[in-house]
Amino acid sequence: MKILVVYYSRSERTKQVADRIRQIFQCDIERIEDVESREGPSKFLKSTFESILGHNTEIKPSKIDPQGYDLVIIGTPVWAGTMSSPIFTYMKQNFLKFDQVAFFCTCGSNGAESTLKNMERLIRKEPVSTLSLTKKELKNNMNGKINNFISELKYELT
Ligand SMILES: Cc1cc2nc3c(=O)[nH]c(=O)nc-3n(C[C@H](O)[C@H](O)[C@H](O)COP(=O)(O)O)c2cc1C
């Protein structure tokens, strides 16, 4: 089974989860990158508004074509209760190329459920499985939750 992990991460938390999933599956991985830096308070506001309003943002061209992968696992930080605008943009650009999908997100403390639901709505495709991790869970139980997610994926896909 060909698996691709695609993620965006502004402050490296979602990256930790993406790297662990990639390590377990020994699969390909793509990091979505901004064209412009998102550092600083004005960029925090811009990110919030882009997410709330569902605006596209400028992302660098991706290096891996998701077409031909049996499963694309997409990860995002939660921004204002929904997916980050770079992942919104990536999903809009590529949804026709996805076969099966799974989603994961990281957040401070809330907004994971709406984020995962909005990702599903955006591409009108039900994920095989989902995973969410709060800041606290990332610290205390990251591997446990990731392992459950992986087991569910393996179960659903075999
Ligand atoms: C613009 C912005 C909006 C955010 N909105 C939320 C939110 O609604 N709920 C929440 O729990 N955390 C929120 N956060 C915190 C991030 O979701 C959290 O720190 C996440 O793990 C960061 O992932 P990253 O390090 O991969 O960028 C927000 C962070 C940013 C930058």
Ligand 1 neighbours, Cβ below 6 Å, are 9-15, 44, 47-48, 77-81, 106-111
CA of 155 to the centre of ligand 1 (A): 30
Q: What is the mean pLDDT of each run of 10 residues along the chain (158 residues)?
A: 97 98 98 96 95 95 97 98 98 98 98 98 98 97 96 92
- Residue 67 is predicted with a pLDDT of 97
Nearest protein CA to atom 27 of ligand 1, as residue? 10
Q: Could you tell which of 107, 110, 114, 135 is best to mutate to test the pocket of ligand 1, judged by most ligand atoms within 8 Å of the CB?
A: 107
Q: Break the chain into its structural domains and give their ranges.
A: 3-157
Rounded CA gap, 74 and 60, in Å? 17
H, E, C per residue of 82-136: EECHHHHHHHHHHHHHCCEEEEEEEECCCCHHHHHHHHHHHHCCCCCCEEEEEHH
Contacts of 145 (CB under 8 A, 6+ apart): 131, 133, 137
Nearest protein CA to atom 31 of ligand 1, as residue? 44
Rounded CA gap, 110 and 92, in Å? 24
Q: Could you tell which of 32, 33, 79 is best to mutate to test the pocket of ligand 1, judged by most ligand atoms within 8 Å of the CB?
A: 79
- Residue 158 is predicted with a pLDDT of 83
Q: Please tell me the class of the 3-157 domain.
A: alpha beta
CA of 50 to the centre of ligand 1 (A): 13
- Residue 143 is predicted with a pLDDT of 95
